[in-house]
Amino acid sequence: MTRKLLIATCFAPLISHLASATCPDSDPDRRAFFGDLHVHTSFSFDAAANTTGATPEDANRFAKGEAIAFWPLGESGEPTGAIQIDRPLDFLAVTDHGEFLGERSLCRTIGSPAYDTDFCTTFRSDERIGMLMLGAVITTETPKRVAEICGADGAQCLDYAKTPWQRVQASANEANEPCKFTSFIAYEYTGTPLSSNYHRNVIFRGSSVPDLPVSYVDAPTDSELWARLDKACRSDAGCDYLTIPHNTNLANGRMAPYRGLGGSLAAKQGYAATRLAREPIMEIFQHKGGSECINGLTSVLGAPDELCAVEAVRHMGETVDFARLGVDVSTLPEGLPQTAVTEECNAGEVGMGGILGAGCVDATDFQRSALLVGLREEQTIGQNPIKLGIIAATDTHTATPGAVSEGDWRGAVSREATPAERLEPGVLTSGIDGNPGGLAGVWAEENTRDAIFDAMRRREVFGTSGPRIRVRLFAGWALDEDLCERADMVAAAYKQGVPMGGDLAAGQGKPRILAYAVKDPASEDLTDLQLIKGWVDDDGSLNSQVLALVSAPEGEASLCAVYTDEDFNPQHSAYYYLRAVEPVAKRWHTYDCDRLSADERPDVCSDGRYPQEIREMAWSSPIWYKAH
């Protein structure tokens, strides 16, 4: 560890104390801050950053607006290019995988006890081979560390994980500048049972964190993860955390609540209480696609929504051909066919292969329908186990947080270093199937760890598909109808109602909703403001509806509406969230097609298999109403 990083670690308690100070520009009506809470560097076993050598320090520097080394690689294997974000971010969490910090260190550190083992020698021979070797550990439902390098009890890998984990902490503490830039200590929990996505990012409030990450190997279910973290992250030592599930679109039903628990009412209520406290938000969009909604679910009543298809990687009825993706079929989970049709999961069952775009789809795989499952479950057990606010992220594996430009996307994972590589199909929804990802937004009083963490906990957060669109949502029983015209709109809305992420208490009459969105100054005007409503009928049926609040075909810098839900039924539990939409724009791959000469362009540039256009958008967190 360098002297600079050592100093940052030693003075972490002081840094944390300073972070809690009130900033000169603190705003009681809260300001929008943009960041990325899902970022990988060369500390991750599967990161393309391993080829460039990018570190957590580099990711923090990039987020602050500095240029870092990037593709292409020179003859010596060193990066010869550079990359820089168009505008600095306000906050960041580097989330390298917690599972293999020690294994990676042992195999890449000359002279380590495992460096010359057959496993490590093969691991270093090829980036993709090394990724698959370690990935095999977390694609089982009973994960175990590799004894050849970790020892029979795994202690050697845990020991070698300490130094990189300390460096992760030090880099975040060093980069953190209260009131200017917030850097969280974090990691990714990467469960992938039978190639289904079961991933979560773990974000710590301050500098007090566990001695080591609690990984999928240590805790193969979400309830075990929270239990282990509660023991390791002691509140009396100032430690606090929350978890953020991501890519539920690839989960095959495994994000449904109560996994690994008995069916008793007490177990379900305990699970719901813990999840409400520890998992307040989810990631709705990133480079592996959107997780807002999917058309064709028989379990949800509602008209199709064309915006559900924007950067979707799962479509009901589609056939997935692994040969086209270049997947070695010998690595597929046992029982997964080489071609598969995407269908709905049977009730109570889970599938496999979601991380490869295969297997069945469950209502809990997508935010809109999962929220409905939570409302219905609340009627049975008294608590809502799926009460999730909304953010977005990049999930970049190149240490480039917030690099979301459609016109200048340089890739997020391995084998995406050139236009030709990005235009090829790949695994892990990469290549032509991927996209630049999105951003997390928070409404907080100031740019500090405490203020942003508190915003996430109370779910006053939002996500965007890339542009820095600001969305706000309030609900109440007596919101003034003229709020959109008032200079004190936000202050009045806080007094008269509840903001996104909140609960609308029982009241008289019909709920009134304030919806407001402001464009990204560097992007397009807004054309649509939509309210998505979900509710559970008397018979338990699940319903969703997209309500057009404002349509501005020519585009506007801001859109605002006060809407009264005339169809509201106080006997039906419901939620509302906001979606603000930009006009049609060119998809990222069309820019890469233009960069190639006509004879170099692959078929995807002209055969119509991939849409040439997209709609950029932003989503607010929901507001919930519980029937009384």
Which pLDDT value is given to residue 1? Answer: 46
Q: Are 366 and 20 within 8 A, CB to CB?
A: no
Q: Which regions of 328-438 does DSSP assign to beta strands (E)? A: 339-341, 389-391
The CA-CA-CA angle for residues 589, 590, 592, to 5°, reads 65
Q: Could you give the angle at which helices 155-175 and 3-10 cross, rounded to 10 degrees?
A: 80
DSSP assignment letter at 499: E
Which pLDDT value is given to residue 414? Answer: 87
Q: Model confidence at 9, in pLDDT bands (50, 70, 90)? A: very low
Calculated CA dihedral for residues 547, 368, 333, 415, nearest 10 degrees: 60
Q: Give phi and psi for 8, each to the nearest 5.
A: -60, -40
Q: Is 259 helix (H, G, I), strand (E, B) or coil?
A: coil
**Hey, which residues does 559 pair with through a beta bridge?**
517
Tens of pLDDT, residue by residue over 50-59, are: 999 999 999 9
Mean pLDDT along residues 587-594? 98
Q: Model confidence at 329, in pLDDT bands (50, 70, 90)? A: low
Mean pLDDT along residues 221-231? 98
Q: Distances in Å between the alpha carbon of 145 and those of 34, 137, 142, 331?
A: 37, 7, 10, 19
**Hey, which residues does 291 pair with through a beta bridge?**
none
Which pLDDT value is given to residue 6? Answer: 44
Q: List for the chain the helix, strand, coil content (%; round to 5).
A: 30, 25, 45
Q: Which regions of 399-525 does DSSP assign to beta strands (E)? A: 439-444, 461-464, 470-476, 498-499, 503-504, 512-518
Q: Is the peptide bond before 553 cis (omega within 30 degrees of 0)?
A: no
The single residue listed with the structure tokens 């679109």 is: 249
Q: Which regions of 519-612 does DSSP assign to beta strands (E)? A: 526-536, 542-556, 558-564, 574-586
The CA-CA-CA angle for residues 614, 620, 624, to 5°, reads 135
Which pLDDT value is given to residue 469? Answer: 98
Q: Are 130 and 124 within 8 A, CB to CB?
A: yes
Which pLDDT value is given to residue 4? Answer: 47
The pLDDT > 70 percentage for the chain reads 94
Those residues with Cβ within 8 angstroms of residue 607's Cβ, 6 or more apart along the chain or in another chain: none
65 pLDDT more than 50: yes
Which pLDDT value is given to residue 330? Answer: 64
Which pLDDT value is given to residue 7? Answer: 43
Q: Model confidence at 326, in pLDDT bands (50, 70, 90)? A: low
Length of the chain: 628
Q: Which regions of 382-466 does DSSP assign to beta strands (E)? A: 389-391, 439-444, 461-464
Q: Which uninterrupted H or E stretch holds 318?
A: none
Which pLDDT value is given to residue 439? Answer: 98
> Among the residues of 20-89, which ranges form H helices?
49-52, 56-63
DSSP assignment letter at 23: P
Classify the C-alpha dihedral 343-344-347-348 as positive or negative.
positive
**Hey, which residues does 285 pair with through a beta bridge?**
290
Which pLDDT value is given to residue 19? Answer: 41
Q: Tell me the domain boundaries of the chain.
A: 3-284+386-457, 470-625
What is the spatial distance between Cα 600 and Cα 82, in angstroms, rounded to a whole number? 25
320 pLDDT more than 80: no
Q: Model confidence at 322, in pLDDT bands (50, 70, 90)? A: low
Which pLDDT value is given to residue 2? Answer: 47
Lowest mean pLDDT of 47-56, 207-216, 616-625, name the range.
Answer: 47-56
What is the spatial distance between Cα 626 and Cα 379, in angstroms, rounded to a whole number? 9
Structure tokens at 588: 């990222």
Q: How many CB atoms lie within 10 A of CB 263?
A: 7
Mean pLDDT along residues 73-94? 96
Tens of pLDDT, residue by residue over 126-155, are: 888 898 899 999 999 999 999 999 999 999
13 pLDDT more than 90: no
Mean pLDDT along residues 198-213? 98
Which tops the pLDDT comparison, 19 or 523?
523
Which pLDDT value is given to residue 585? Answer: 98
What is the spatial distance between Cα 299 and Cα 301, in angstroms, rounded to a whole number? 7
Q: Are 67 and 84 within 8 A, CB to CB?
A: yes
231 pLDDT more than 50: yes
The CA-CA-CA angle for residues 392, 397, 401, to 5°, reads 50
Q: How many CB atoms lie within 10 A of CB 519?
A: 21
What is the spatial distance between Cα 329 and Cα 317, in angstroms, rounded to a whole number? 22
18 pLDDT more than 60: no
Which pLDDT value is given to residue 429? Answer: 82
Mean pLDDT of the chain: 93
Q: Are 583 and 552 within 8 A, CB to CB?
A: no
Mean pLDDT along residues 449-461? 98
